[in-house]
């Protein structure tokens, strides 16, 4: 039975995309939102690291705390709208204090740098401010899907562990309440899942497996499919000798072309074999479905490339083995 | 200038760049080259992949360098940065007494600093570098830098941390109360009461106890940070930018280079990892067009594949052109996209071949 993409994208409203630096986490965040849009779901992308890559992927200026629309939606299908915003702990704190009748001290708390002191006194406060805001966005049902572009891998574990730590460190008061509510969100598989991103290479795969188990053990958050970025698309058999292939096609090769065609074919074949080995190793180590996205040969990740990756993502989702209707998976099998 | 002479003439090499571009491996290769040149070299790694750590004999955090035996005239040492251990040593060094040191080290707020205060890891990497350079007899210290949100955090980290330790509001609260100060103190108390409403008094008390215990040590910390800053700017120190040819990594490297230039810090080396091979110079569009014409034949597939790699290579060149043009006089080395990850000394030696021109480029 084919997996219905719309059902897939709304299995939980909050999707946290995490992965080590350099694996294309931001590209995957953009492609995830675009694929959800193609499946008719509206999405809000939340960016927390202040990087500009996400906006560039949609051909836009860097994000700010104010929400902007990246993709209008509608059309014949119809497609879902994509909006995006950045969240910073300082902005989230200002908003929190304003909402809790402490506007008077809010500016000073932020401008004096006291937030640094407070967040050192109770580690995770900055993270809980961000996650608390995400929880608020989730409760407001502002979009079908909330895609959070999380901090890089090692930091992602710390980031998502913050509510547990804070519940112990700050035993009463609003921070404690906030931490409890965030933990409820993170550990509710019907509301939240983490999508880990990696490359089909040795070190990124090792780190992803480690992160996956840490997240499940230390946070108790459900893991969605793993997204493997940069997989060479299969072009078919390339073992044929270029000269023979030219004869068969009735074509003439330019000087140097035969050697170049053969070398490029060998390179792809050996790379593909290495990638396959890593993909299998990943599958053995983690019983989670994989969404494999094609390597980007193009110059830059812009709207056209994001569309292409989103279509590839949907094809992968539809081909998933009978996950239909199931909740995101658990590593305990 | 070649990378080989850079390793020969520098006392300190700092590898900088965005995450996932091979900084740790590059740092290890540079230190290994130092040992091959007969120097006593040490590499400070931040968060090495497990197999590389094993190869370097880095089992757990020891905070003291361990020697790696091998067939080279010099010495190769490695140490994995222990942020908290380094900070502890710094506290002991500057504490006026044993009591003051333990008062700080046992404080819960202090114990949180190394894990929670951003910039601390970066600062401790620089502190470790300073310590190894000044207090041990290493000829060459190579340091990997933490993967940071903003690649330059480590340059600003000493100032950020000393500013933090010297925090005015908290200092006023903990300072002896006399005359005018007392009036300010009352205002600060009101402010802190508001803070405690949010985080609870227990948390705040830990913080205040820390700042009280730290009293008198700020100056020592500041002076030390200033000396670390001077060492980074010294002639014997060189920055080596590490990047991949991908657009985002190159953009970050360019940003990095411009920021270093602003601080009058020289980029003397550039290592470009994971470069795709050039199978045939020329335009990928022409090859792509040929592939389209021949679609459905085996030759068409071969052309489509060649066009893919020509396109990647040409994009990589475009991205890199903007970076290298701004770095005249910098030693540049390219390392091809290798089939396997590096996790032993042979692997490091293989990379060294590319870095120091002993292996023909592809």
pLDDT by residue (tens digit) across B95-153? 989 999 999 999 888 888 777 676 788 888 888 999 999 988 899 999 988 766 555 66
* Yes or no, beta carbons of B198 and A238 under 8 Å apart: no
* Yes or no, beta carbons of B315 and A299 under 8 Å apart: yes
A244 has a pLDDT exceeding 90: yes
Ranges of H-type helices in chain A: 5-9, 25-38, 53-57, 89-99, 103-111, 114-121, 125-139, 153-169, 173-186, 202-214, 242-249, 257-285, 303-318
What is the average pLDDT value for chain A, to the nearest integer? 87
Which pLDDT does position A325 carry in this prediction? 44
B85 has a pLDDT exceeding 80: yes
Return d(Cα B251, Cα B344) in angstroms, integer.
Answer: 30
A238, closest residue in chain B (CA to CA):
B302
> Chain A residues with CB inside 8 Å of B303's CB?
261
ipTM: 0.86
CB B274 within 8 A of CB B38: no
Distance in Å, alpha carbon of A324 to nearest chain B alpha carbon: 35
- Nearest 5°: phi and psi at A190? -80, -10
Q: Give the one of A123, A172, A249 whose C-beta lies nearest to B297's C-beta.
A: A249
Which pLDDT does position B362 carry in this prediction? 39
A120 has a pLDDT exceeding 60: yes
Return d(Cα A149, Cα B67) in angstroms, integer.
Answer: 41
Return d(Cα A44, Cα A36) in angstroms, integer.
Answer: 10
pLDDT tens digits, B213-224:
888 888 888 888
> Average pLDDT of A91-103?
79
3-state secondary structure B71-136: CCCCEEEEEECCHHHHHHHHHHHHCCCHHHHHHHHCCHHHHHHHHHCCCHHHHHHHHHHHHHHHHC
Distance in Å, alpha carbon of B154 to nearest chain A alpha carbon: 17
Which pLDDT does position B178 carry in this prediction? 47
Q: How confident is the model at residue A329 (pLDDT cuts 50, 70, 90)?
A: low
> Chain A residues with CB inside 8 Å of B297's CB?
245, 248-249
Q: Name the packing angle between helices B108-116 and A114-121 (round to 10°).
A: 110
The 8-class DSSP code of residue A284 comes to H
Distance in Å, alpha carbon of B312 to nearest chain A alpha carbon: 5
The phi-psi region of residue A206 (left if phi > 0; otherwise alpha if psi is between -120 and 50; otherwise beta) is: alpha
Which pLDDT does position A171 carry in this prediction? 76
Distance in Å, alpha carbon of B225 to nearest chain A alpha carbon: 19
- A257: Cα separation from own chain's centroid: 40
Q: How confident is the model at residue A1 (pLDDT cuts 50, 70, 90)?
A: low
> Average pLDDT of A284-294?
95
Q: Which helix (H) or strand (E) holds B26?
A: helix B23-36
Report the residue of A18, A121, A129 to disrupt the B interface, i.e. the one with the largest count of B CBs within 10 Å: A121
* Yes or no, beta carbons of B19 and A121 under 8 Å apart: no
Q: Give the one of B149, B163, B195 whose C-beta lies nearest to A50's C-beta.
A: B149
> Average pLDDT of B177-195?
60
Distance in Å, alpha carbon of B137 to nearest chain A alpha carbon: 34
A327 has a pLDDT exceeding 60: no
- B186: Cα separation from own chain's centroid: 42
Residue in A176, A182, A191, A178 with CA at minimum distance from that of residue A161: A182
Residue at token pair 């927390």: A48
Q: Give the one of A102, A125, A201 whose C-beta lies nearest to B194's C-beta.
A: A102
Q: Give the one of A175, A204, A270 whose C-beta lies nearest to B198's C-beta.
A: A175
Cα–Cα distances (Å) from A281 to A202, A229, A272, A286, B39, in that order, read 9, 15, 14, 9, 40
pTM (predicted TM-score): 0.88
Which pLDDT does position B151 carry in this prediction? 55
CB A229 within 8 A of CB A24: yes
Neighbours of B220 (CB within 10 A): 15
Distance in Å, alpha carbon of B72 to nearest chain A alpha carbon: 28
Which pLDDT does position B210 carry in this prediction? 84
Cα–Cα distances (Å) from B220 to A26, B93, B225, B229, in that order, read 42, 9, 9, 14
pLDDT tens digits, B260-284:
888 888 799 999 999 999 999 989 9
What is the average pLDDT value for chain B, to the nearest integer? 84
B70 has a pLDDT exceeding 80: yes
B176 has a pLDDT exceeding 70: no
Report the residue of A117, A156, A209 to disrupt the B interface, i.e. the one with the largest count of B CBs within 10 Å: A117
B107, closest residue in chain A (CA to CA):
A121
């Amino acid at each position: 039975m084919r997996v219905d993409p719309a059902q897939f994208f709304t299995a939980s409203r909050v999707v946290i995309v995490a992965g080590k630096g350099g694996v294309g986490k931001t590209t995957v965040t953009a492609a995830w939102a675009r694929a959800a849009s193609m499946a008719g779901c509206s999405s809000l992308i939340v960016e927390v690291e202040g990087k500009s890559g996400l906006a560039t992927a949609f051909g836009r200026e860097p994000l700010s705390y104010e929400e902007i629309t990246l993709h209008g939606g509608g059309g014949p299908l119809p497609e879902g709208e994509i909006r995006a915003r950045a969240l910073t702990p300082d902005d989230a704190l200002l908003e929190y204090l304003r909402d809790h009748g402490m506007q008077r001290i809010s500016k000073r708390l932020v401008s004096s740098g006291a937030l640094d002191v407070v967040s050192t006194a109770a580690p995770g406060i900055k993270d809980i401010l961000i996650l608390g805001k995400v929880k608020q966005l989730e409760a407001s049902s502002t979009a079908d899907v909330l895609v959070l572009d999380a901090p890089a891998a090692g930091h992602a574990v710390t980031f998502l562990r913050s509510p547990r730590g804070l519940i112990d460190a700050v035993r009463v008061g609003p921070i404690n309440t906030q931490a409890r509510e965030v933990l409820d969100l993170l550990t509710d598989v019907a509301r939240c899942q983490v999508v880990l991103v990696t490359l089909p290479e040795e070190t990124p795969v090792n780190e992803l497996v480690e992160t996956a188990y840490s997240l499940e053990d230390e946070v108790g958050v459900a893991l969605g499919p793993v997204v493997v970025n940069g997989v060479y698309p299969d072009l078919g058999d390339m073992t044929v000798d270029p000269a023979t292939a030219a004869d068969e096609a009735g074509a003439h090769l330019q000087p140097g072309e035969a050697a170049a065609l053969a070398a490029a074919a060998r390179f792809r074949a050996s790379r593909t074999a290495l990638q396959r080995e890593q993909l299998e190793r990943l599958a053995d180590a983690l019983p989670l479905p994989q969404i494999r996205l094609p390597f980007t040969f193009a110059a830059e990740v812009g709207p056209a490339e994001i569309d292409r990756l989103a279509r590839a993502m949907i094809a992968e989702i539809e081909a998933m083995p009978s996950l239909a209707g199931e909740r995101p998976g658990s590593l305990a099998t | 200038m070649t990378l080989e002479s850079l390793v020969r003439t520098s006392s300190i090499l700092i590898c900088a760049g965005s995450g996932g571009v091979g900084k740790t491996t590059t740092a290890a290769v540079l230190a290994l080259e130092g040992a091959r040149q007969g120097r006593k070299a040490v590499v400070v790694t931040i968060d090495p992949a497990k197999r590389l750590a094993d190869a370097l004999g880095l089992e757990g955090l020891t905070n003291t360098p361990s020697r790696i035996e091998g067939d080279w005239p010099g010495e190769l040492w490695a140490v994995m940065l222990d942020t908290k251990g380094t900070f502890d040593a710094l506290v002991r060094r500057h504490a006026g007494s044993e009591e003051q040191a333990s008062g700080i080290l046992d404080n819960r707020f202090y114990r949180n600093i190394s894990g929670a205060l951003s910039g601390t890891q970066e600062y401790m990497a620089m502190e470790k570098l300073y310590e190894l350079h000044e207090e041990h007899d290493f000829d060459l210290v190579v340091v990997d830098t933490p993967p940071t949100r903003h690649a330059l955090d480590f340059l600003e980290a000493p100032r950020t941390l000393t500013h933090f330790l010297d925090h005015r509001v908290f200092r006023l609260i903990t300072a002896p109360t006399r005359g005018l100060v007392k009036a300010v103190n009352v205002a600060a108390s009101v402010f802190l009461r508001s803070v405690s409403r949010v985080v609870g008094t227990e948390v705040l008390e830990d913080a205040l106890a820390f700042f009280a215990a730290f009293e008198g040590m700020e100056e020592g910390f500041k002076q030390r940070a200033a000396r670390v800053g001077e060492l980074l700017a010294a002639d014997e120190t060189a920055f080596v930018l590490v990047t991949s040819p991908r657009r985002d990594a190159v953009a970050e490297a360019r940003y990095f280079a411009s920021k270093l230039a602003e601080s009058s810090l020289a980029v003397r080396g550039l290592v470009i990892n994971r470069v795709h091979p050039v199978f045939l110079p020329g335009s990928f569009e022409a090859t792509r067009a040929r592939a389209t014409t021949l679609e459905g034949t085996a030759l068409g597939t071969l052309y489509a594949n060649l066009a893919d790699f020509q396109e990647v290579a040409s994009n990589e060149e475009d991205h890199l052109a903007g970076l290298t043009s701004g770095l005249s006089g910098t030693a540049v080395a390219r390392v091809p996209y290798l089939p396997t990850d590096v996790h032993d000394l042979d692997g490091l030696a293989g990379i060294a071949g590319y870095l120091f021109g002993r292996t023909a480029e592809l």
